[in-house]
């Protein structure tokens, strides 16, 4: 039977069922629902970049005359490059894992090289690198390096290996990822001065452009700033300032602007806000295009090479399975935002070396989004979204201001040396840390919905000390031979405060056979106490404290408390039951030896009376959760005050 199609008249009739609604009409409806409540307080949200996010965006909000340069290469045909990271210390294990990953969906290899402060592949010569890439067809699979201060040394080894294997210099591809400024920020040292390191980088780029046209030498990696607490706009500003510094160095070495730009690969870490991630990548392309235009080059002749990595700071060491969801959000944002290559860190990245299953999930997260969702088949899927367009514009404008300020003060190297960058990211982290501590920003499985009995994941084990010792004189030099040093930027994880308490709880369990505990007094019926009782259990579990619940109250609570062996107690029930029994129960608990008595809920007008009865504090949504948990842990002897 032939399929019927909708004619134009039918389509117009369908459209007429959805009449246009003005913004004024929408606002009128919203005000009726709010019933006098503040529109800004209820429906808008402030970002760490100082932007006010609205609940709705229309065509009136979209910036005028906006275009976003498209990704380079044939991304819409083949998808982005699935760049799997290898960080095992043993070259033989790396070779085995790399072959398996390439056979099962990865399209390139990223080697993290072992060095002071960073665990990775232990190598000392081209022979070691050869072992690590045994069985990998280097004329087909691109190789990228994460070697920090040793990037120039590893670049020479990789070139030597290509030559040894008779690979065509014009066909091999990869990225040396030489990035002196990011290396200094993350590792805290370089084997030579900043100026000498940048000149060396530029010389390698000039030779590479002539001898290996499909290889990039230079990286602009903002992950060190992002892991230290930088927000999205700061991240973009630092990237552009670094890119300009390197562009100047490469052109000074004799490269034309477009050729120099093609030697640079940008790397951004993405967190778990999908729209901010998309906007960040779109803004990055626009900013770099503007830099190239100002430098006299056509951006279309040298489109930004954009590599994305899922942010380490968003990876939790507790309930690691949730990291799969976080990685999926970041991957989606990278795909929609136009990433040319992507490294998804395994879900167990925070607890050790990944096994085959963890690497498989990291690969398949990307492959599914490409092959089943087709994210790569549209050049700019977010284009035309008024929200994303507006956010991209605001990011670009604010990042350009940061760039101009850094340039005015002498450039990115000067900003690093003076401590300005460190101060900026520290301020950014301090604000974020306050919200994390109050659980305004939640980390699922860590600060919210924790599970004290979760299955432990440990990761693979590697004896790097033995591997380093085996290298002897062939080992890469250590930090003692630094040409320049600075305090490396701090590295943070979103859940680090809560995870430290969980680790202390684990240590107590291992040494004494029991976790720190709190006696939970559930007053009234389940209908009265379930909501706050569940809240309290999750609240204390976030700090590694186990709740011991009991349905009791009044004078009976004292006897039950003594029997429990606990030192602290918490009352859980409804406001009505609190009014009837909170004072009597608190007094009974104190008489029975309770050192501290808490109450789940805001105290309101009853605070003075409740405190007089022996209630020492209150727990509720939006309180200083982390500070309270630390105080309790210290009182229980789990951590030092």
**What pLDDT is stored for residue 167 in this prediction?**
97
Residue 344 DSSP label:
P
Q: Mean pLDDT per segment of 10 residues, for the chain of length 641 residues?
A: 49 62 85 88 91 88 71 79 97 97 97 94 96 97 97 97 96 97 96 96 98 97 97 98 98 97 98 96 96 94 95 96 97 95 96 94 96 89 90 96 97 97 96 97 96 86 92 81 90 97 96 95 95 97 96 83 95 96 95 96 94 96 97 95 74
**Does the residue 490 lie in any domain?**
no
**pLDDT value at residue 65:** 65
At 73 the pLDDT is 67
Structurally, the chain folds into a number of domains equal to 2
DSSP state of 474: G
pLDDT score of 69: 66
Q: Write down which residue in 437, 458, 474 finishes a domain.
A: 437
Please name which of 40, 384, 424, 431 lies closest in space to residue 233, comparing C-alpha atoms: 424
Interior angle at CA 577, CA 576 and CA 581, nearest 5:
130
CATH of the domain at 120: 3.20.20.240
Q: Name residue 308's beta-bridge partners.
A: 268, 342
Specify whether 285 is located in the same domain as 362. yes
Task: Say whether both 432 and 513 belong to one domain.
Answer: no
For residue 553, the model assigns a pLDDT of: 72
Query: Do 280 and 151 share a structural domain?
Result: yes
DSSP designation for 455: P
Number of Cβ within 10 Å of residue 71's Cβ equals 22
d(CA 571, CA 25): 47
Check whether residue 516 and residue 428 sit in a common domain: no
What's the rounded Cα separation, in Å, for the pair 563 and 583? 21
Tell me the DSSP string of 512-563: HSS--EEEEEE-S-HHHHHHHHHHHHHHHHTTTPEEEEEE--TTHHHHHHHH
**Is 420 within the bounds of a domain?**
yes
pLDDT at 588: 95
Residue 45 located in a structural domain: no
CB 438 within 8 A of CB 497: no
| Terminal-to-terminal C-alpha distance of the chain | 79
Number of neighbouring beta carbons within 10 Å of residue 433: 18
> Strand 484-485 and strand 189-190: pairing?
antiparallel
The H-or-E segment that residue 597 falls in is strand 596-600
| Phi, psi for 331 (deg, rounded to 5) | -65, -40
Domain end, chosen from 388, 410, 437, is at 437
Check whether residue 395 and residue 511 sit in a common domain: no
pLDDT given for residue 488 in this prediction: 95
Q: How far is residue 485's CA from residue 478's CA, in Å, rounded to a whole number?
A: 13
| Residue ranges making up the domain that contains 279 | 75-437
284 and 135 in a single domain? The answer is yes
d(C-alpha 423, C-alpha 37), whole Å:
38
Boundary-marking domain end, from 437, 465, 487: 437
Give a yes or no: residue 175 inside a domain: yes
CA distances from 390 to 24, 54, 57, 61 (A): 20, 11, 9, 7
């Amino acid at each position: 039977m032939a399929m019927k199609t909708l004619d134009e008249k039918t389509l117009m009739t369908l459209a007429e069922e959805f009449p246009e609604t003005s913004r004024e009409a929408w606002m009128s409806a919203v005000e009726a629902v709010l019933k006098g409540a503040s529109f800004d307080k209820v429906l808008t949200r402030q970002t760490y970049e100082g932007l006010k996010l609205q609940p709705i965006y229309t065509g009136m909000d979209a910036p005028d005359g906006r275009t976003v340069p498209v990704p380079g290469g044939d991304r819409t045909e083949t998808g982005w490059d699935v760049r799997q990271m290898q960080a095992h210390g043993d070259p033989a294990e790396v070779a085995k894992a790399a072959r398996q990953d390439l056979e099962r969906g990865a399209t390139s290899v990223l080697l993290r090289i072992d060095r002071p402060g960073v665990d990775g592949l232990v190598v000392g010569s081209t022979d070691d690198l050869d072992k690590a890439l045994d069985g990998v067809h280097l004329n087909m699979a691109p190789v990228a390096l994460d070697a920090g201060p040793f990037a120039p040394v590893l670049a020479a080894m990789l070139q030597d290996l290509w030559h040894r294997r008779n690979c065509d210099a014009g066909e091999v591809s990869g990225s040396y990822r030489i990035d002196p400024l990011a290396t200094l920020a993350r590792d805290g040292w370089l084997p030579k001065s900043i100026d000498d390191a940048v000149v060396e980088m530029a010389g390698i780029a000039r030779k590479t452009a002539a001898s290996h046209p499909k290889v990039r030498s230079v990286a602009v990696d903002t992950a060190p700033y992002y892991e230290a607490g930088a927000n999205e706009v700061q991240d973009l500003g630092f990237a552009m300032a670094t890119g300009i510094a390197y562009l100047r160095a490469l052109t000074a070495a004799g490269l034309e602007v477009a050729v120099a730009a093609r030697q640079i690969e940008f790397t951004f870490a993405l967190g778990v806000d999908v729209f901010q991630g998309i906007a960040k990548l779109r803004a990055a392309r626009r900013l770099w295009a503007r830099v190239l235009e100002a430098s006299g080059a056509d951006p279309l002749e040298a489109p930004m090479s954009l590599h994305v990595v899922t942010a380490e700071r968003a990876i939790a060491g507790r309930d690691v399975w949730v990291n799969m969801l976080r990685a999926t959000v970041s991957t989606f944002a990278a795909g929609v935002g136009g990433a040319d290559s992507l490294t998804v860190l395994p879900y167990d990245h925070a607890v050790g070396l990944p096994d085959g299953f963890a690497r498989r999930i990291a690969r398949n997260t990307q492959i599914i989004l490409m092959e089943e969702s087709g994210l790569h088949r549209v050049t700019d899927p977010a284009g035309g979204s008024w929200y994303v367009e507006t956010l991209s514009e605001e990011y670009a404008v604010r990042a350009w201001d940061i760039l101009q300020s850094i340039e005015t003060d002498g450039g990115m190297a000067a900003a690093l040396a003076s401590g300005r960058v460190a101060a900026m990211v520290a301020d950014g982290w301090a604000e974020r840390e306050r919200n994390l501590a109050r659980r305004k920003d939640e980390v699922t499985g860590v600060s919210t919905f924790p599970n004290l009995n979760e299955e432990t994941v440990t990761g693979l084990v590697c004896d790097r000390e033995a591997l380093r010792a085996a290298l002897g004189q062939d080992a890469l030099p250590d930090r003692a031979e630094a040409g320049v040093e600075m305090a490396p930027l701090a590295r943070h994880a979103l859940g680090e405060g809560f995870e430290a308490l969980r680790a202390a709880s684990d240590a107590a369990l291992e040494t004494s056979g029991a976790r720190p505990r709190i006696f939970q007094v559930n007053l009234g019926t389940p209908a009265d106490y379930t909501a706050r009782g569940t809240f309290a259990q999750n609240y204390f579990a976030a700090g590694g404290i186990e709740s011991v619940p009991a349905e009791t109250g009044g004078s009976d609570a004292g006897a039950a408390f003594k029997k429990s062996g606990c030192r602290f107690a918490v009352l859980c029930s409804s406001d009505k039951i609190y009014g009837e029994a909170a004072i009597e129960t608190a007094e009974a608990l104190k008489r029975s030896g309770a050192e501290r008595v808490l109450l789940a809920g805001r105290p309101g007008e009853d605070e003075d009376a409740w405190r007089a009865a022996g209630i020492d504090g209150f727990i509720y949504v939006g309180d200083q959760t982390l500070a309270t948990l630390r105080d309790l842990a210290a009182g229980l002897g789990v951590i030092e005050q």
